Amino acid sequence: MSRSHPMVPNPGDTFTSVSVHHSAQPEALEESLRQSLTQGRIPGWYLYATGDQSRRWLAYHQAYAPSSTDSAVGTLYEALYRAGSRRIAGRPVHLLGLGAGSGQKDADLLTLLAGEDVRTPGLLAYTPLDISVPLALQAAARARSELLDLDIHPLVADLEAHPDLASWLVARERACFAHLNEPPVRLITCFGVLPNQPLPGFLSWLRALLRPGDLLMLSTNLSPEGLTQDSTRILAQYDNPFARAWYSAALAELGLVSSPEELAVTAEPLTHLPDFPGEQGQAWRIVARLTPGLETILNTAGKAFAVGPRRPLEVFHSQRVTATALERILISEGLSPHGTWLGARGEEGICLCAG
């Protein structure tokens, strides 16, 4: 299912083993790119995969993400971490960070777990997962800088492919906690990933990772009042110089050079959630689309694709739902929240769910 290979983050430093799931192998990514372009979109992983793209995303995230720009959001995460820690006090923990990104939130959580519960070495392990090798390594390095004795093994996978992680996770937990008589609590963090995933399918996949007694910490972007009231204000978070530099660089990687007027960022109702057919705008999304004035033939992934006035290309999307809609969606997927925290004027939602 996966292969491991050594990587050296810094000259002279020790080796870091990284497991690469089949979904992130070159042949799988090429097929993902081919299928997505056939559907008229760029796959989500393409915007993060390279080192340059990871740096552009980090700059954008630091400039516009509520967790970076609103200091009060940090208190929400601290409340979440403490609530989760209380539920698993005294037990060994395997933290699986889905879409780990820079790893800052996971590092904060690990520090609390190691300190508050006085977990000794051998009772805490960390697996940062990301589609980007640089980001997975950065998350690992950040955690290691906080906890030198922490057992860390980065994992690279495409979450959009709903990768089969079950056997890999069991093998890792057996290796990390072989000296114990009980399996660890699997604590899964999924911060900032939900807006870019097809909700029902992704949540079903996520639910399957949880065993009885496991915990899930989930965050997502919300729309406090719905599409009509919120779209103009929220669009500014996705239509700005940092965001456009990120989108445009992904297009350039494909060989597409766009002018500002050809790349439009708009808001539209979300149509693939049957329980929310435009219901007071409770479910909607932001979309960045490239519509060149003239047709362009894109040759990539071993195939030619046309992009033009009648064939726009979806570059990026991010979903927004109201807090009420989020709760209903989670419950319908068997992920009833045991605690919910709202912040950033109602635009950031954080939930704690149990297996």
- Which one, of 209, 193, 196, 202, lies nearest residue 350 by Cα? 193
Instruction: State the pLDDT at residue 119.
Output: 55
Instruction: State the pLDDT at residue 35.
Output: 95
Q: Which alpha helices (H) appear in the chain, and where do they start and end?
A: 26-38, 51-64, 66-69, 71-87, 104-116, 133-146, 166-176, 199-209, 227-235, 241-253, 323-332
Instruction: State the pLDDT at residue 275.
Output: 63
Instruction: State the pLDDT at residue 11.
Output: 43
pLDDT (average), residues 191-220: 94
Per-residue pLDDT of 87-110, as tens digits, reads 998 899 999 999 999 999 999 999
Model-level pTM? 0.91
User: What are 305's strand-pairing partners?
Assistant: 298
Is pLDDT above 90 for 198? no
The answer as to whether 85 is a domain residue is yes
pLDDT (average), residues 255-272: 88
Is pLDDT above 80 for 121? no
What is the pLDDT confidence band of residue 290, given thresholds at 50, 70 and 90? Answer: very high
Per-residue pLDDT of 3-37, as tens digits, reads 443 333 444 456 889 999 999 999 999 999 999 99
pLDDT (average), residues 30-49: 94
Question: What residues contact 291, with CB distance under 8 A and at least 6 apart?
Answer: 262, 264, 308, 309, 312, 313
- Which one, of 241, 243, 229, lies nearest residue 345 by Cα? 229
- Residue 335 and residue 209: Cα distance in Å, rounded? 12
- What value does the mean pLDDT of the chain take? 89
Residue 140's alpha-carbon distances to 10, 106, 175, 252, in angstroms, are 13, 10, 18, 29
The answer as to whether 243 is a domain residue is no
Q: Which amino acid is at 323?
A: A
The answer as to whether 41 is a domain residue is yes
Residue 72: which CATH number? 3.40.50.150
The answer as to whether 292 is a domain residue is no
- Which one, of 97, 147, 144, lies nearest residue 118 by Cα? 147
For 212, the 3-state DSSP assignment is coil
pLDDT (average), residues 204-215: 96
Give CA 325 to chain center in angstroms: 20
User: What are 268's strand-pairing partners?
Assistant: 285
How does 201-213 read in b/e, with b if 16+ C-beta sit within 10 Å?
A: ebbebbeebbeee
User: What are 334's strand-pairing partners?
Assistant: none
Per-residue pLDDT of 317-333, as tens digits, reads 999 999 988 998 899 89
Instruction: State the pLDDT at residue 120.
Output: 62
The answer as to whether 204 is a domain residue is yes
Is pLDDT above 70 for 276? no
Do residues 253 and 228 touch, judged by C-beta distance below 8 A?
no
The answer as to whether 92 is a domain residue is yes
Write out the residue range of the structural domain in which residue 327 sits: 16-223+323-354
For 92, the 3-state DSSP assignment is coil
Per-residue pLDDT of 307-317, as tens digits, reads 999 999 999 99
- Residue 309 and residue 296: Cα distance in Å, rounded? 9
Do residues 219 and 74 touch, judged by C-beta distance below 8 A?
no
The answer as to whether 190 is a domain residue is yes
Q: Can you read off the two tokens belonging to residue 43?
A: 């796959």
- Residue 298 and residue 257: Cα distance in Å, rounded? 11
What is the pLDDT confidence band of residue 2, given thresholds at 50, 70 and 90? Answer: very low
Instruction: State the pLDDT at residue 8.
Output: 37
Give CA 281 to chain center in angstroms: 24
SS3 content of the chain, % helix, strand, coil (to 5): 40, 25, 30
The answer as to whether 228 is a domain residue is no
Per-residue pLDDT of 230-255, as tens digits, reads 999 999 999 999 999 999 999 999 98
Q: Can you read off the two tokens belonging to residue 53?
A: 């793209």
Instruction: State the pLDDT at residue 342.
Output: 94
Per-residue pLDDT of 135-184, as tens digits, reads 999 999 999 998 878 899 999 999 999 999 999 999 999 999 998 888 99
For 301, the 3-state DSSP assignment is coil
Give the count of domains, the chain: 1
Could you report how far apart the first and last alpha carbons of the chain are, in Å?
A: 25
